Amino acid sequence: MLLQPEQRTKLDDSSDTFFYDVPRLVTHVDDGFIQRLTDLYRQRLVPQGHIFDMMSSWVSHLPEDVGFAWVEGHGMNAAELAENPRLDHYFVRNLNENPILPLDDQSFDAVLNAVSVQYLQQPEAVFSEIYRILKPGGIAIVSFSNRMFYQKAIAAWRDATEPQRVELVKHYFRSVPGFSQPEVIAQSPTIPAILQMLGMPGGDPFYAVVAKRVE
């Protein structure tokens, strides 16, 4: 078993649907993180490809100078998703209650998940779905920092160090046969820890775990 039942628990065990009911039109990471993520997308995403932005919000951090044939969005708040100018279509679904994606097999060139993986209680089911909807050779990019809604992150994430969280996401990919060996991209904060704690720009560490569907 990938996670024990107690590792999937949250401090706030009420439905995530209620927690995300009010729109939050803010970014949850700093500008440095966002720039690194946008640069990574520019490097790795195929222009005019079909993109699935999973657990998205009012912004997708896609490079403005790259066009895509279709960007499908998913999230927990319809008002946030409606504000996202990069989405061609979106749907709302609580993946902790229903991890099945209403999307066709092998229909996307890339699946993106930004600063949200820490909330998944059934990661093996969700990563199986990511694999299913990716085209052969398609890429999945899971990015995160050290920020979170603490009460909604699963225990396995809350209790882990940052290197352990990277390993956890690698295990999520490895739990699904057919993904490539996960690649890790990491960048430490560019400012001293004390300034990071005060929320100064440049303080968010950047992590991305990347894998491709090889079968």
H helix or E strand, kind and range, residue 112: strand 108-114
**Residues contacting 16, CB < 8 A, separation 6+:** 76, 94, 96, 97, 119, 152
H helix or E strand, kind and range, residue 156: helix 155-158
pLDDT of 202: 59
Half-sphere exposure of 31 (CA within 13 A, CB side): 2
Between 91 and 192, the more confident residue is 91
64 pLDDT higher than 90: yes
pLDDT of 175: 96
- Identify the burial level of 161 via C-beta atoms within 10 angstroms of its C-beta, where 0-12 means exposed, 13-18 middle and 19 or more buried: exposed
Residue among 215, 130, 139 nearest 172 (CA): 130
pLDDT of 194: 57
pLDDT of 107: 98
pLDDT of 200: 59
81 pLDDT higher than 60: yes
Q: How far, in Å, CA of 31 to CA of 88, rounded?
A: 25
- 5-212 topology per CATH: Rossmann fold (3.40.50)
8 pLDDT higher than 90: yes
| pLDDT tens digits, 17-51 | 767 665 564 556 778 889 899 999 999 999 999 99
The model's confidence at residue 80, banded by pLDDT at 50, 70 and 90, is very high
198 pLDDT higher than 90: no
pLDDT of 30: 79
Mean pLDDT lowest for which of 108-112, 150-154, 173-177? 150-154
Specify the pTM: 0.90
- Identify the burial level of 194 via C-beta atoms within 10 angstroms of its C-beta, where 0-12 means exposed, 13-18 middle and 19 or more buried: exposed
pLDDT of 160: 95
Mean pLDDT lowest for which of 83-92, 117-126, 186-195? 186-195
